[in-house]
Amino acid sequence: MPAEDFLAVSPYAQFHAWMAEAETSEPNDPNAMAVATATPDGRPSVRTVLLKGVDERGFVFYTNKESRKGEELSLNPNAALLFHWKSLQRQIRIEGTVEPVTDAEADAYYSSRARISRLGAWASLQSRPLA
Protein backbone atom coordinates (compact mmCIF):
# COMPACT_ATOMS: atom_id res chain seq x y z
CA MET A 1 0.00 0.00 0.00
CA PRO A 2 1.20 3.55 -0.66
CA ALA A 3 2.22 5.56 2.42
CA GLU A 4 -0.73 7.90 1.80
CA ASP A 5 -3.11 5.06 2.69
CA PHE A 6 -1.81 5.21 6.26
CA LEU A 7 -2.31 8.94 6.75
CA ALA A 8 -5.22 10.54 8.58
CA VAL A 9 -7.60 12.73 6.60
CA SER A 10 -6.89 15.73 8.86
CA PRO A 11 -3.30 16.95 9.13
CA TYR A 12 -4.01 17.79 12.79
CA ALA A 13 -5.18 14.23 13.47
CA GLN A 14 -2.02 12.95 11.77
CA PHE A 15 0.12 15.27 13.87
CA HIS A 16 -1.55 14.08 17.09
CA ALA A 17 -0.96 10.44 16.12
CA TRP A 18 2.71 11.05 15.35
CA MET A 19 3.17 13.17 18.49
CA ALA A 20 1.74 10.32 20.58
CA GLU A 21 4.32 7.99 19.01
CA ALA A 22 7.10 10.49 19.67
CA GLU A 23 6.04 10.84 23.31
CA THR A 24 6.69 7.12 23.81
CA SER A 25 9.93 6.88 21.82
CA GLU A 26 11.81 10.18 22.10
CA PRO A 27 14.09 10.26 25.14
CA ASN A 28 13.92 14.06 25.57
CA ASP A 29 11.39 16.74 24.69
CA PRO A 30 9.28 15.22 21.92
CA ASN A 31 7.52 18.60 21.81
CA ALA A 32 10.74 20.44 20.87
CA MET A 33 10.49 22.20 17.54
CA ALA A 34 12.70 24.51 15.55
CA VAL A 35 11.02 27.83 14.77
CA ALA A 36 12.34 29.76 11.79
CA THR A 37 11.52 33.44 11.43
CA ALA A 38 12.89 36.21 9.25
CA THR A 39 13.35 39.93 9.42
CA PRO A 40 11.23 42.06 7.07
CA ASP A 41 14.19 42.14 4.66
CA GLY A 42 14.45 38.34 4.72
CA ARG A 43 17.34 37.66 7.12
CA PRO A 44 16.52 34.22 8.60
CA SER A 45 16.81 33.09 12.19
CA VAL A 46 16.00 29.76 13.83
CA ARG A 47 15.82 28.53 17.42
CA THR A 48 14.26 25.66 19.37
CA VAL A 49 11.14 26.15 21.48
CA LEU A 50 8.61 23.79 23.05
CA LEU A 51 5.17 23.16 21.60
CA LYS A 52 2.55 23.96 24.24
CA GLY A 53 -0.61 23.07 22.33
CA VAL A 54 -2.12 22.23 18.97
CA ASP A 55 -5.67 22.33 17.66
CA GLU A 56 -7.49 23.30 14.48
CA ARG A 57 -6.35 26.91 14.99
CA GLY A 58 -2.69 25.90 14.81
CA PHE A 59 0.41 25.21 16.87
CA VAL A 60 1.02 27.12 20.11
CA PHE A 61 4.32 28.21 21.63
CA TYR A 62 5.16 31.04 23.99
CA THR A 63 7.94 33.57 23.74
CA ASN A 64 9.00 36.93 25.05
CA LYS A 65 7.48 39.53 22.71
CA GLU A 66 10.63 41.64 23.16
CA SER A 67 13.00 38.84 22.13
CA ARG A 68 14.52 38.75 18.66
CA LYS A 69 11.98 36.04 17.75
CA GLY A 70 9.08 38.11 19.12
CA GLU A 71 10.21 41.26 17.34
CA GLU A 72 10.72 39.40 14.05
CA LEU A 73 7.24 37.87 14.29
CA SER A 74 5.65 41.26 15.00
CA LEU A 75 7.23 42.69 11.83
CA ASN A 76 6.98 39.57 9.65
CA PRO A 77 4.45 37.02 10.95
CA ASN A 78 5.51 34.27 8.54
CA ALA A 79 7.27 31.34 10.18
CA ALA A 80 8.20 27.71 9.71
CA LEU A 81 8.26 24.92 12.32
CA LEU A 82 10.21 21.69 12.23
CA PHE A 83 9.70 18.68 14.47
CA HIS A 84 12.50 16.11 14.17
CA TRP A 85 11.96 12.79 15.90
CA LYS A 86 15.23 10.95 15.34
CA SER A 87 14.07 7.75 17.06
CA LEU A 88 11.16 7.52 14.59
CA GLN A 89 13.20 8.65 11.60
CA ARG A 90 10.49 11.21 11.00
CA GLN A 91 10.14 14.93 10.69
CA ILE A 92 7.25 17.30 10.14
CA ARG A 93 7.52 20.69 8.47
CA ILE A 94 4.87 23.35 9.00
CA GLU A 95 4.69 26.79 7.41
CA GLY A 96 2.24 29.60 8.04
CA THR A 97 1.37 32.88 9.62
CA VAL A 98 1.80 33.40 13.35
CA GLU A 99 -0.61 35.38 15.49
CA PRO A 100 -0.53 36.04 19.23
CA VAL A 101 -2.64 33.99 21.61
CA THR A 102 -5.23 35.91 23.60
CA ASP A 103 -4.21 37.65 26.81
CA ALA A 104 -6.32 35.11 28.72
CA GLU A 105 -4.46 32.19 27.09
CA ALA A 106 -1.08 33.79 27.85
CA ASP A 107 -2.10 34.45 31.46
CA ALA A 108 -3.35 30.87 31.87
CA TYR A 109 -0.07 29.48 30.51
CA TYR A 110 2.00 31.75 32.78
CA SER A 111 -0.08 30.66 35.79
CA SER A 112 0.48 26.99 34.88
CA ARG A 113 4.26 27.32 35.11
CA ALA A 114 6.17 26.33 38.24
CA ARG A 115 6.58 29.22 40.70
CA ILE A 116 10.36 29.31 40.25
CA SER A 117 9.88 29.47 36.47
CA ARG A 118 7.38 32.35 36.81
CA LEU A 119 9.78 34.24 39.08
CA GLY A 120 12.65 33.69 36.68
CA ALA A 121 10.62 34.96 33.73
CA TRP A 122 9.45 38.00 35.70
CA ALA A 123 12.85 38.95 37.14
CA SER A 124 15.23 38.26 34.27
CA LEU A 125 16.06 40.13 31.10
CA GLN A 126 15.22 37.10 28.98
CA SER A 127 16.43 37.12 25.40
CA ARG A 128 18.63 40.14 26.00
CA PRO A 129 22.29 40.02 24.95
CA LEU A 130 24.81 39.92 27.77
CA ALA A 131 27.46 42.59 27.88
pLDDT tens-digit profile of 5-59? 578 788 999 999 999 999 999 989 999 999 999 999 999 999 999 999 998 889 9
Asked whether residue 112 is assigned to any structural domain, the reply reads no
Asked whether residue 120 is assigned to any structural domain, the reply reads no
pLDDT value at residue 130: 63
Strand, helix or coil for residue 34: strand
pLDDT value at residue 12: 92
Asked whether residue 66 is assigned to any structural domain, the reply reads yes
Under a CB-based contact definition with an 8 Å cutoff, are residues 82 and 33 in contact?
yes
Asked whether residue 126 is assigned to any structural domain, the reply reads no
Number of domains in the chain: 1
pTM of the predicted protein model: 0.83
Asked whether residue 121 is assigned to any structural domain, the reply reads no
- For residue 33, the domain's CATH number is 2.30.110.10
Strand segments, DSSP code E, in 4-104 are 32-38, 44-50, 53-55, 58-60, 78-85, 90-97
pLDDT tens-digit profile of 96-108? 999 999 999 988 9
Asked whether residue 115 is assigned to any structural domain, the reply reads no
Asked whether residue 118 is assigned to any structural domain, the reply reads no
| Domain of 10, in residue numbers | 3-101
Asked whether residue 72 is assigned to any structural domain, the reply reads yes
